[in-house]
Structure 1
Amino acid sequence: MQQAVCAPKARVPDPSPDESLPFTVERATPAIGAYVGGIDLRDPLDEPAYLALRRLLIRYKVLFFRDQDITPAQHVALAQRFGELEVHPVFAHHPDHPELALFDKSGEKRGHENIFHSDVSWREVPSMGSILRCVECPRVGGDTIWVNMALAYDKLPEDVKTRIATFQAVHDLLPLFGKVLSPEQRASVRAQNPAVTHPVVRTHPESGEKILFVNEAFTTHFANYADTTAYRFGFDLKLAEMDLLQYLFRQAAAPEYQVRLKWQPNTIAFWDNRAAQHYAVQDYYPAVRRMMRATIIGDRPV
Structure 2
Amino acid sequence: MTAIAHRPPRTTFRAEPLTCSLGAEVFDVDLGEVSRDDAQFEQLRELLIEHKVLFFRDQDITRAEHVALAEKFGPLEDHPVASSDPDHPGLVRIYKDLDSPAEHYENAFHTDATWRENPPFGCVLRCVETPPVGGDTIWVNMVEAYRRLPEHIKDQIAGLRARHSIEASFGAGMLTAQREALHARFPDAEHPVVRIHPDTGEKILFVNAFATHLVNYHTTENVRFGIDYAPGAANLLHYLISQASIPEYQVRWRWTKNSIAIWDNRSTQHYAVQDYWPAVRKMERAGIIGDRPY
TM range (shorter): over 0.9
- In structure 1, the gaps of 5 or more residues are 1-19
Cα contact 1:45–1:81 (8 A) shared by 2: no
Cα contact 2:11–2:28 (8 A) shared by 1: no
Cα contact 2:127–2:260 (8 A) shared by 1: yes
Which letter maps to 1:153? Y
Which letter maps to 2:17? R
Which letter maps to 1:281? V
User: Aligned runs of 1:1-302 on 2, under 5 Å?
Assistant: 22-43=12-33, 44-109=35-100, 112-215=105-208, 217-227=209-219, 229-302=221-294
- Describe the superposition over 1:218-248 as per-residue Cα deviations: whole angstroms up to 9, x where unpaired: 0000010003644333233111101111110
Shift of the alpha carbon at 1:254?
A: 0.5
> Which whole-Å CA distance do the structure 2 matches of 1:228 and 1:164 have between them?
15
253-262 or 106-115: which moved more?
A: 106-115
| Aligned-partner SS, 2:107 | coil
* Structure 1 residue ranges, 4+ long, deviating more than 4 angstroms after superposition: none
| Aligned-partner SS, 1:170 | strand
Shift of the alpha carbon at 1:45?
A: 4.1
- Describe the superposition over 1:98-130 as per-residue Cα deviations: whole angstroms up to 9, x where unpaired: 201111111222561000000011100111001
Cα contact 2:207–2:241 (8 A) shared by 1: yes
| Aligned-partner SS, 1:225 | coil
> Which whole-Å CA distance do the structure 2 matches of 1:181 and 1:236 have between them?
33
| Aligned-partner SS, 2:89 | coil
Q: TM-score if structure 1 supplies the norm length? A: 0.90
CA 1:252–1:40 in 2, change beyond 3 Å: closer, same or farther?
same
> Which whole-Å CA distance do the structure 2 matches of 1:21 and 1:301 have between them?
36
Q: What's the RMSD between the two structures over aligned residues? A: 1.4
Identical aligned pairs, as a percentage?
54
How many residue pairs get aligned? The number is 282
> Which whole-Å CA distance do the structure 2 matches of 1:275 and 1:66 have between them?
23
- In structure 2, the gaps of 5 or more residues are 1-9
| Aligned-partner SS, 2:127 | strand
CA 1:239–1:179 in 2, change beyond 3 Å: closer, same or farther?
closer
